[in-house]
Amino acid sequence: MAVAMEAIQELEGHTDRVWSVAWNPVASSSNRSVLASCGGDKTVRIWEGDCSDSSSSSSSSSWSCKAVIDSFKRTVRSCHWSPDGKLLATACFDGIGAVWEDVGGDYECVATLEGHENEMKSIAWSASGTLLATCGRDKSVWIWEMEAENDFQTVSVLNGHSQDVKTVLFHPTEDILVSSSYDNSIKVWAPDPNGDDWSCVQTLAEPNQGHSSTVWSVAFDADGKRMVSCSDDLLLVVWDTSTNPLESSWKHLCTLSGYHERTIYSVHWSRRSGLIASAAGDDAIRVFAEANDPSYTSRAVFSMVGKQQKAHSTDVNCVRWHPKDDDILASAGDDGLVKLWRILS
Amino acid sequence: MALQNANPVIHERKATRRQRPSIGDESAAEEIDALEVFEHLRDIRDPEHPYSLEQLNVLAEEGIEVDDKQSYVRVTFTPTVQHCSMATLIGLCIRVKLMHSLPPRFKVDIRVAPGSHSTAAAVNKQLNDKERVVAAMENPYLAQTVRDCLAPPEEYE
């Protein structure tokens, strides 16, 4: 199996590098999709359009920028829609997390999360949409709970990483949090069985066949049985996450090496097609598929099935599969562009 | 604050020698080479002395590798003392100058010379993490310090 990638849209508007993109999981369907992007120009942009439309001229394209949130003081590093698609959470280098709601086309800030000492790098919703996690350069991971409508309280401040924390991500079905760091490790956090606090239940690092440099990002498959991580060490590592992490350790399944030539900044696992997309500082996007036996107990084998060199003219910082249409992939680059791709089998 | 290196050795600014490409060879004229990259960097001012990186022998043309076809540049610099806490700041100045000087297609790696610094791995890792670089440049104090180091020579001589 081999796939090709066709660029179907270039969304222009950001005036500096784009760090992240996020599809609205509810508002996005096969004929109308909503995508948020954020970056170094201190803005968040909300794009809307039809993924089946590949008209390249901007005058006839169905894609347009519907809203710009420009009240940030510094780089907006990441954004993430709540599971119900109603709220957008943002992580800003000013250390403040924010939650935004679409009010008749304008995005209104309905909550702020303050506590990090400096740059916030990532923010993520739990599957239930009641918890938010944040992380940053102060080496801490925070968990926040929505107690009343748009009223967030700190549940836990987690220290464990020895350096800058790059990414936080909740498991797709369980209240389990994963964080990845400049300290080369991935940590798994879970609520204490008999209490309200959370603690680190596992560390996946070099001794567990993990990474030897900064772990930039992680992604789960659809049911959370496996996770993939990407790193400055140019490797992608697939982990078996099918066990309860409080009871038995998550195991290394396989390492994908020899593909990207510079830092891998982003990885995403399609919930529908099972394809893994990765994006890197070598300006390329790569797509991987599981080669044969999908059984989680046997040895997993992944192979590269697609490669887009010069996906952007500079580093590619983020890739995200469309939540409903498994042929569509969004990417963000240092060239200030958001691009939409169609995967052709 | 005490100076990291109170008595640095000062070297002369060397005259440049540029071999002109032969007339009619346009592709050669467009290529970016180590000397051109060095020209962008040689006059960066040291953060704690009124001398340039070239005068302090922190940077020389030999420390610059360029592969124009692969759009790749690697800069290796040598801090004046092993424990120099200014190393990351010097590296940051080099990175920012190259961001402004080179076409965006170039990938740039910056490192301290092997064996020249007590925490070389940590310095190199920080200098090559673009997120940390961006965050540093959004810090007004650091951004001003870098601007001062990158100011044209006549402004401090």
pLDDT tens-place string over residues A83-112: 999 999 999 999 999 999 999 889 999 999
User: Is residue A243 within a helix (H) or strand (E), and if so which, with residue range?
Assistant: none
- Looking at the predicted structure, is the pLDDT value of residue A231 above 60? yes
CB contact under 8 A, B135 and A166: no
| Among A40, A118, A313, beta carbon nearest to B104 | A313
Distance CA(B32)–CA(A287), nearest Å, equals: 33
- Touching check for B107 and chain A: CB below 8 Å? yes
Question: What is the C-alpha R_g of chain B?
Answer: 16
Q: What is the mean pLDDT of chain B?
A: 88
Residue B24 — very low, low, confident or very high, per pLDDT cuts 50/70/90? Answer: low
- Amino acid at site A67: A
Percentage of chain A with pLDDT > 70? 96
Question: What is the C-alpha R_g of chain A?
Answer: 19
Chain B residues touching A213 at Cβ < 8 A: 125
- Touching check for B131 and chain A: CB below 8 Å? yes
- A277 DSSP β-pair partners: A268, A287
Closest chain A CA to residue B121: A213
Length of chain B in terms of residues written: 157
- Looking at the predicted structure, is the pLDDT value of residue B127 above 80? yes
Pair type for strands B107-112 and A276-280: unpaired
Distance CA(A157)–CA(A198), nearest Å, equals: 8
| Best of A96, A119, A261, A335 to mutate (most B CBs within 10 Å, chain B) | A119
Write down the pLDDT at residue B16.
Answer: 67
Write down the pLDDT at residue A193.
Answer: 86
Contact call for residues B133 and B124 (beta carbons, < 8 A): no
CB contact under 8 A, A75 and B129: no
Q: Report CA dihedral (A343, A320, A223, A235) to the nearest 10 degrees.
A: 90
In tens, the pLDDT along B105-126 reads: 999 999 999 999 999 999 999 9
CB contact under 8 A, B125 and A182: yes
Contact call for residues A210 and A252 (beta carbons, < 8 A): yes
Q: What is the mean pLDDT of chain A?
A: 94
Write down the pLDDT at residue B15.
Answer: 72
State the DSSP string of A141-152.
EEEEEEEETTEE
Cα distances from A84 to residues A111, A224, B62, B101, in angstroms, run 17, 19, 57, 46
Residue A254 — very low, low, confident or very high, per pLDDT cuts 50/70/90? Answer: very high
| Among A93, A281, A335, beta carbon nearest to B138 | A93
- Looking at the predicted structure, is the pLDDT value of residue B155 above 80? no
Distance CA(A222)–CA(A242), nearest Å, equals: 12
Pair type for strands B64-67 and A338-344: unpaired
What ipTM does the predicted assembly reach?
0.92
Write down the pLDDT at residue A166.
Answer: 98
| Best of A214, A216, A334 to mutate (most B CBs within 10 Å, chain B) | A214
CB contact under 8 A, A40 and B135: no
Q: How far apart are the first and last CA of chain A?
A: 7
Helices (H) and strands (E) in chain B, counts: 6, 3
Q: How far is A44 from chain B (nearest CA, A)?
A: 17
- Cα A54-A60-A61 angle, rounded to 5 deg: 45
- Lowest mean pLDDT of A44-58, A149-163, A224-238, B32-46, name the range: A44-58
CB contact under 8 A, B138 and A137: no
Residue A59 — very low, low, confident or very high, per pLDDT cuts 50/70/90? Answer: low
CB contact under 8 A, A75 and B105: no
Closest chain B CA to residue A310: B105
Write down the pLDDT at residue A279.
Answer: 98
Q: What is the pTM of this model?
A: 0.93
| Among A17, A281, A313, beta carbon nearest to B105 | A313
In tens, the pLDDT along A293-302 reads: 555 555 678 9
In tens, the pLDDT along A158-176 reads: 999 999 999 999 999 999 9
Write down the pLDDT at residue A58.
Answer: 57
| Among A119, A164, A262, beta carbon nearest to B107 | A262
Q: How far apart are the first and last CA of chain B?
A: 23
- Touching check for B121 and chain A: CB below 8 Å? no
- Looking at the predicted structure, is the pLDDT value of residue A29 above 90? no
More confident residue, A60 or B97: B97
Cα distances from A13 to residues A51, A74, A140, A287, A327, in angstroms, run 18, 17, 33, 27, 24
- A186 DSSP β-pair partners: A180, A204
- Touching check for B135 and chain A: CB below 8 Å? yes
In tens, the pLDDT along B60-119 reads: 999 999 999 999 999 999 999 888 889 999 999 999 999 999 999 999 999 999 999 999
In tens, the pLDDT along A276-312 reads: 999 999 999 999 999 865 555 556 789 999 999 999 9
Report residue A121: phi and psi, to 5°: -110, -25
- A154 DSSP β-pair partners: A144
- Looking at the predicted structure, is the pLDDT value of residue A250 above 70? yes
Write down the pLDDT at residue A67.
Answer: 97
Contact call for residues B77 and B60 (beta carbons, < 8 A): no
Q: State the average pLDDT over residues A2-6.
A: 94
More confident residue, A39 or A295: A39
| Among B104, B125, B132, beta carbon nearest to A314 | B104
Q: Is B135 helix (H, G, I), strand (E, B) or coil?
A: helix
Write down the pLDDT at residue B11.
Answer: 84
Q: In sequence order, which residues have a C-beta less than 8 Å from that of residue B140 and are 6 or more positions away?
A: none
Residue B157 — very low, low, confident or very high, per pLDDT cuts 50/70/90? Answer: very low
How many other β-carbons are positioned within 10 Å of the β-carbon of residue B7?
Answer: 8
Chain B residues touching A77 at Cβ < 8 A: 131
- Touching check for B140 and chain A: CB below 8 Å? no
| Among B105, B130, B135, beta carbon nearest to A93 | B135
